[in-house]
Structure 1
């Protein structure tokens, strides 16, 4: 993969674009003005590996809550604004690190200019978000409906508006619930602009279905070198969004952080409780941030040989198993001690 070189912006202390690592974002589903609930959820998302968090700002109480929330979290805060430019200004005044707006629903150019002015003053970037459901009627008519051309044209109109105001601290998203449309649209915009791109398949659906759609859509784009930050949109616990996002990046070699478990699908040769073993290993290893590849294999056939690229692993047998490192057998262990011994060896690394 050759990653497309984009401009670099700073969202708080996290770089996005350029040669910066691709980041995982999520969005809280709490009422933002419920400060304790919002802080607690953000802390849980931080623990899961979220790099940047976004919250909905629906009224002035939400905007004022940003100040207290920021004092209690460790990752950058994006304020998501719809329609009311005054809320965007209030969110920035209270410490938001970035805004997500659709300039088309903010209203007059004069209102957008007021947002730009305070963002310039405080060096706050803006994400221009265009979804397949928010395209102007004139572009729908010009390009015969919702497609990559009408979506890109909508985004370019907003980009030109910002640029005409002397503002270029932008990142761009063009999300659709259709995977093919999402891929086509991001490919098209990436050939036209060099702003960092925020990837996502919008309204992807329930956790299982949405995971598949997001992995196919974003994975395809990332494998082409397109994308600088991602958000998996699932109807479920936001922690699942972070877990899926991190795994998409890890599967492409774009995230060197945390444990990657390699495990076989089991078959008639498997003599140990492999599924239970893998689930327990995931639970007990989730706190480790060091990038390690761990293999948990059902039998010696799929053991040290097929998993020799793993840093460490185990292969089950009849009442016992092997622990191996880089494909070389290290020691033999009784089945009931296999996971404990594996974790002890991992922690020693």
Structure 2
């Protein structure tokens, strides 16, 4: 019987906009975004970063357009970019007009910084004429002073009203190709703002925790906010805003979507045991070496690194490929089935080699090519390890006995 896949909450229905050839909303796959950190006027440097982001899994890239040199740079970048380019506009509406002239796929406007209604409507009209969508990018840190005073701070209601005011101005010129974000650096504020926004409009939503900071804290804050909303079915496109190389943003975004089952796996998913009393190797060291080596292959594969042969292959039976440490040996397994035994110092090389063969031949073919003696040798190693360290290598029975005594006393 085919097992029904487990899924997160059903996605909220939104209208769809097209950012270049990338659909956002309307049931399209959730897209990953990032932003370049180069000067946009540095065409070659910016393109190099865009290509690196695309290779890491980004679907859409945003570049700042804060001066005429940046707009001129966009005119050279857009035709050569492998992904759609969004121009980030803050204070100068003329930079938005210049970016449109440069051929960008979308604009991002911050209503807290670009405030004059006539200028906003002029940009919206130009975008409408060119069929270029706009993201209304509300930010708690740059909220319009009037709204800040009205709500006595940056509240979910204030952030959503800011977006709705901008949307009304767009509506006055008949422009509705709009995505919206209501970002904050405070995670609970960000979550509640998006929840309220999702109840207020059916426009696609771009998720992010702004100014999340450097890893690991920035990764944790961003994941806490973005994953919470995605698990509730809210969100159509995401960005990790990290104080780090933007490629790290791209990797984090892809990995989050893959972990939630919202995008097909494109790269490596490495799992490893946390170590225990039976561990025969330095799991952290081997896992790190395996991750570094396997990531270079750019294969959509799940690989497990397990510290012992007693439970390793069974616990990680869902992995495409894995290795479990025996007595100075590595037991290589595919979907929980032992296929080879290799020397301990060749475990990482064996994983890389087998991953390449799986990519070329497929899992079934590699299972058929298994060494028949490997299972016998693996079972022998497992039996020896159990004999040496026993069934209770972590001495849990002692703790269990204490628990029983405590519960009887009470």
Is TM (by shorter chain) over 0.5? yes
Query: Is 1:98 paired with 2:126?
Result: no
- Distance in 2 between the 1:125 and 1:286 partners? 35
After TM superposition, the runs of 4+ consecutive aligned structure 1 residues lying more than 4 A away are 287-290
In the TM superposition, residue 142 of structure 1 has moved relative to its aligned partner by: 2.9
Instruction: Name the residue aligned to 1:50.
Output: 58
Structure 1 Cα separation of the partners of residues 242 and 19 of structure 2:
23
Q: Can you list the C-alpha shifts for 1:236-285, whole angstroms capped at 9, x where unaligned? A: 21111112222222221122121211111223422223222222222222
> 137, 143, 149: which is aligned to 1:135?
143
- Of the three residues 199, 209, 221, the one matched with 2:207 is 199
Residue 20 of structure 1 is matched in structure 2 by: 28
Q: Is the 8 A contact 2:280 2:308 kept in 1?
A: yes
State the SS of the aligned residue for 1:207.
Answer: coil
TM-superposed CA distance for 1:288, in Å, is: 4.4
2:274 & 2:30 partners in 1: Cα distance? 30
Looking at structure 2, the residues matched to 302 and 295 of structure 1 have their Cα atoms a distance apart, in angstroms, of 12
Query: Which of 68, 77, 83 pairs up with 1:69?
Result: 77
Q: Aligned residue for 1:275?
A: 284
Shift of 1:216: 0.7
Find the counterpart in structure 1 of residue 174 from structure 2.
166
- Structure 2 residue 133 is the aligned partner of structure 1 residue 125: yes
The alignment's TM-score, normalised by the length of structure 1, stands at: 0.96
Question: How well do the aligned residues superpose, as a CA RMSD in angstroms?
Answer: 1.5
Aligned partner of 1:343 in structure 2 is 352
Tell me, yes or no, if the aligned pair for 1:54 and 1:80 is still in contact at 8 Å.
yes
Q: 1:287: Cα distance to partner?
A: 4.2
Using the TM superposition, name which of 110-119 and 181-190 deviates more: 110-119
- C-alpha distance in 2 between matches for 1:290 and 1:93: 39
Q: Which residue of 2 aligns with 1:325?
A: 334
TM (normalized to structure 2)? 0.82
Moved more, 295-304 or 53-62: 295-304
Distance in 2, matches of 1:34 and 1:81, equals 18
Gaps of 5+ in 2: 1-8, 359-410
Aligned residues: 349
| 2:320 maps to 1:311 | yes
Structure with bigger strand share is 1
How do residues 173-252 of structure 1 correspond to structure 2 at under 5 angstroms?
Answer: 173-252=181-260
Max radius of gyration: which structure?
2
- 8 Å contact from structure 1 (residues 207, 240) kept in 2: no
Q: As a proportion of its length, which structure holds more helix?
A: 2
Match of 1:59 among 60, 64, 67: 67
